[in-house]
Structure 1
């Protein structure tokens, strides 16, 4: 059994201030609102382009005997998985979470680097051919990949801005002079 607490003391939280009012909660820093919305919209656009690339490979990439090549399988699985993985941090970025913005920045940067570095290393494609495919916008799948890389790069930059330029939460948004 414990004695009663002294008057003005709350056993369940922070002690009240001098005026009897509880201490205000410290506002959490949030990602910049405008940059977070821009990054989220660009991320969803990039995810949509990944799905378009996967659908193109589903429809057009099967060989004459109806069997998919290993490149087509990697393109379909990578496009769908990449779009799903991109949608999650996009949602957290829309919610103005700093960790979501930095995760989105890292993921988009990884995608951009993977298109230019990993694909030529895995499949033995010359770098000039890969650059021509990605930045040439020649066929519909090349245009989709080129747009996905450009949107991914813009998403990475805008997510980095959203994560680094912090806005105070609602608790600290009081007009000056009050």
Structure 2
């Protein structure tokens, strides 16, 4: 005679409070990225002839990054552990790409990049500085959400 199955083992979920905070911060960072992309659309529209390569890169990467952040933020808000780790990775990658990748690709000195980012003198630098700040906060809370698991018996 087989033993009766016991209660189902609860699935681990991301920490509720940290997942909610990360899930709210991600769309805020995405809004800043859309702001940055729209600024570059205006720059491209005002330019004579074809827009520069960096302007096109800023437009495309801003929109694509915003969409991906919103999707990962949604999965994090739903308390999915892989979604929280993905959100952490995307935010960490974005910060590293802005501080290290962009200066390497475009030949900008590191000091000039940091000065531009945190000068808040133009709309695009303000949007990118706020994106960096929100991305760091989102990465921290997403890592907390993913690593501090809770077990729901209802779901």
Name the SS for the 2:51 alignment partner. coil
Q: Structure 1, residues 97-116: CA drift from partner, whole Å, max 9, x if none?
A: 11110110011000000000
| Aligned residue number for residue 90 of structure 2 | 107
Q: Work out the CA distance in 2 between the residues paired with 1:131 and 1:96.
A: 34
Deviations 1:34-58 (A, max 9, x none): 1001001101101111111101100
Q: Which aligned runs of 4 or more in structure 1 are off by greater than 3 angstroms? A: 61-64
- Of 29, 35, 40, the residue aligned with 2:12 is 29
Greater relative CO (CA pairs within 8 A, separation 6+): 2
Contact 1:61 1:72 in 2 (8 A): yes
Structure with the higher helix share, 1 or 2: 2
Aligned residues: 155
1:82 and 2:65 equivalent?
Answer: yes
TM-score normalised according to structure 2 size: 0.94
Partner Cα distance (1:24, 1:50) in 2: 46
Report whether the alignment pairs 1:120 with 2:122.
no
Give deviations 1:71-129, integer Å, cap 9, x for gaps: 00000000011111111111110110111101100110000000000100011111111
* SS of structure 2 residue aligned to 1:24: coil
Structure 1 residue corresponding to 2:147, chosen from 155, 161, 164 = 164
Contact kept, 8 Å, 1:92 with 1:100, in 2: the verdict is: yes
Decide which of 79, 82, 104 is 1:96's aligned counterpart: 79
Q: Which residue of 1 aligns with 2:53?
A: 70
Larger radius of gyration: 1
